[in-house]
Amino acid sequence: MADPQKVLTLLRNELDLQTRHMKLLEAQQTALLACDRPRFCEMKAEQELMLQLLDAQQTAREAEMVDGNGNLLAISALLERTPEKQQRALGLVRDSLIKTINRVQELTLQNKQLIENELEYIAFTLDLFVEAGRKATKSDYGGFGSLRGRMLLDRRV
């Protein structure tokens, strides 16, 4: 049987982690919107650590929230079995956790779309440069030497 006080503590810890995760995703989004690749890349290690912590927290919560038969309990089922004082606290933490997780999912989707847009822009730019290089001739650069490096790119671009 799940101990409501332990579950409450685990949910509070998870809420804290999810809130930190949300702030990290917001910072990543700010970096993506500003096209600040170095700042975005600096957050990669923190993101990986955060995901590991969240995974460990989920495992701990699921291990605690089992019934007598070893089945995973929903928080609503646990609420029915707890005293009124703990019901309010559990309900508040549950509601805050739901809001935070929804915001995390929303930010994750937005950041994914921003990254995909950036990759499409990079591919477009590379295609543009390659095509310009194919059209460039020696006469475009005064007829001096062979085309190498940056001279391969057409100055008309």
Q: Which of 104, 101, 102 is nearest to 61 (CA)?
A: 101
Q: pLDDT tens, 10-38?
A: 999 999 999 999 999 999 999 999 989 89
Mean pLDDT over residues 34-47, rounded?
A: 93
Per residue in 76-130, pLDDT tens? 888 888 888 888 999 999 999 999 999 999 999 999 999 999 999 888 888 888 8
Q: Full-prediction pTM beyond 0.75?
A: yes
Please give the Cα distance from 104 to 1 (Å, whole number): 30
CATH number at residue 105: 1.20.58
Structure confidence at residue 157 (pLDDT): 47
Q: How many residues does the chain have?
A: 157
Of residues 152 and 14, more confidence is placed in: 14
- The stretch 31-46 carries a mean pLDDT of 93
Domain that holds residue 107: 4-120
Provide the domain count of the chain: 1
> Is residue 42 over pLDDT 90?
yes
Establish if 142 belongs to a structural domain. no
55-84 pLDDT per residue, tens: 999 999 988 888 778 788 888 888 888 888
- Report if residue 136 sits inside a domain: no
* 146 inside domain: no
Q: Has residue 13 been placed in a domain?
A: yes
pLDDT above 70 (res 146): no
The verdict on residue 135 lying in a domain is no
Decide if 12 is inside a domain: yes
Beta bridge mates, 72: 66
CA 151 distance to own-chain centroid? 40
For residue 129, tell me if it sits in a domain.
no
CA separation for the pair 36, 59 (Å, rounded): 35
